[in-house]
Amino acid sequence: MELKELRKALAAEAQAAGICSEWYNYILSAQSKERLLALYFKGFDFVEENDFPSEPLRREFDDIRRHYNIYENEPFSVTNKKRLVAYTGATGKAAFNSYSVGQIWARKGSDVHVEASEHSYVNVYVVEGATAHIKTTGKSRVTVFLHGGKVTQEATEDAVITIKEK
């Protein structure tokens, strides 16, 4: 799909889900797929609440989404990435060490293993149908925002795992 068509399709889907006119115009005026993915992360509250975009439109980003740490139906293994989104069928490990900071969104049907060590700080958002396995060591901190789904946890040394049910 050409960029112009993709912008129109995304904007129409977002408008049907109730996006505001300002963000609707941001989508329509995006100059690249990379800009659309930047909007995706900036507006992740909307993305999460509305399961946006639909799977067919997500397919349009298959050529670049891994660069932005967005995974679907595939394994992954990353270290010290600022953001990661795991969709259906994505399984893998996200490791954080030193003073790294990260955010992980475990979407329906994903299985994410988070390992935090040293002084790292990670927020993990887990929705219904997703599983997150959290392991912390050192003085690391992990906060899990549980919107359904399952979490296993193991904290050693001075590490802390906090679970906030939403």
Continuous segment of H or E residues that includes residue 161:
strand 160-165
Kindly report whether the global pTM for this prediction surpasses the value 0.75.
yes
Query: Does the pLDDT of residue 166 top 90, yes or no?
Result: no
Q: Is the dihedral of CA 82, 18, 50, 52 positive or negative?
A: negative
Residue range 74-117, pLDDT digits in tens:
999 999 999 999 999 999 999 999 999 999 999 999 999 999 99
Q: For 44-65, what is the mean pLDDT?
A: 94
Output the pLDDT for position 32.
97
Domain range summary for the chain, segments of one domain joined by +: 3-65, 69-165
- In b/e form, how buried is each residue of 106-134, taking b as 16+ CB within 10 angstroms? bbebbbbbbbbbeebbbbbbbbeebbbbb
Tell me if 23 sits within 8 A of 66, measured CB to CB: no
Q: For 49-63, what is the mean pLDDT?
A: 95
